Amino acid sequence: MKLFLDTNVILEYLEARSEYLYVKRIFDAIEDGSHEAYISTGSVYTLTYLILSALKRNQIYRPEQIIESRKILNNITHLVHVIDLKHESIVFAINDNQFTDLEDSYQYRCALEHACEFLITINTKDYKNTNNNVIRILSPRQFVESVL
């Protein structure tokens, strides 16, 4: 199965938030080859910024900051495929009125363009206006409980 992971799912794992154990189970299924996972190029940019900021808050500075960031990002990209979005799809996503958050629109469009079967997100309500017959929108917990 092809899973698209919203940026917040990766953050859920990195910061050991409330759905951490569910995300870990999803990552375990990806590692054992049961599922393929994808994130957008935009997620990599966002994660890079957030990881660097977190390290700085923890008083980790260059060059250690870059070394640690690369380690974390390499672990992520070892687990998931990074996919992009065509120009036309970005323009469509910018103007897609079913979304009030443009980043969610980009993520949804990216998952659709790459024929993902599931979009896993912490904020399922952000996708409430989408056609769930095309792609299933589930939280990590919902995915683990209904699919794994």
Q: Closest Cα to residue 120, out of 1, 24, 8? A: 8
Q: Does the pLDDT at position 123 exceed 80?
A: yes
Overall size of the chain counted in residues = 148
Q: Does the pLDDT at position 131 exceed 90?
A: no
Q: Is residue 35 part of a domain?
A: yes
Q: Is residue 75 part of a domain?
A: no
Q: 46: alpha, beta or left, given left = phi > 0 and alpha = psi -120 to 50?
A: alpha
3-state DSSP assignment of residue 136: strand
Overall average pLDDT of the 10-16 stretch: 95
C-beta separation of 20 from 138 below 8 A? no
Alpha carbons 6 and 125: distance in angstroms, whole number? 13
Q: How many domains does the chain have?
A: 1
Q: Is residue 47 part of a domain?
A: no
Q: Is residue 112 part of a domain?
A: yes
**100 half-sphere exposure, CB direction, 13 A CA radius:** 5
CATH of the domain at 30: 3.40.50.1010
Helices (H) and strands (E) in the chain, counts: 7, 5
**110 half-sphere exposure, CB direction, 13 A CA radius:** 25
Q: Does the pLDDT at position 35 exceed 80?
A: yes
The average confidence (pLDDT) of the chain is 96
Alpha carbons 21 and 44: distance in angstroms, whole number? 22
pTM of the model: 0.94
Q: Note the pLDDT tens digit of each residue in 80-105.
A: 999 999 999 999 999 999 999 999 99
Q: Note the pLDDT tens digit of each residue in 36-45.
A: 999 999 999 9
CA torsion through residues 29, 33, 136, 44, sign: positive
Residue 94 structural domain: 2-41+80-146
How high is the pLDDT of residue 133? 80
Q: Is residue 69 part of a domain?
A: no
Q: Note the pLDDT tens digit of each residue in 66-81.
A: 999 999 999 999 999 9
What are 84's two structure tokens? 């992009």
Residue percentage of the chain with pLDDT more than 70? 100
Q: Does the pLDDT at position 132 exceed 90?
A: no
Q: Is residue 59 part of a domain?
A: no
Q: Is residue 93 part of a domain?
A: yes
Alpha carbons 1 and 116: distance in angstroms, whole number? 8
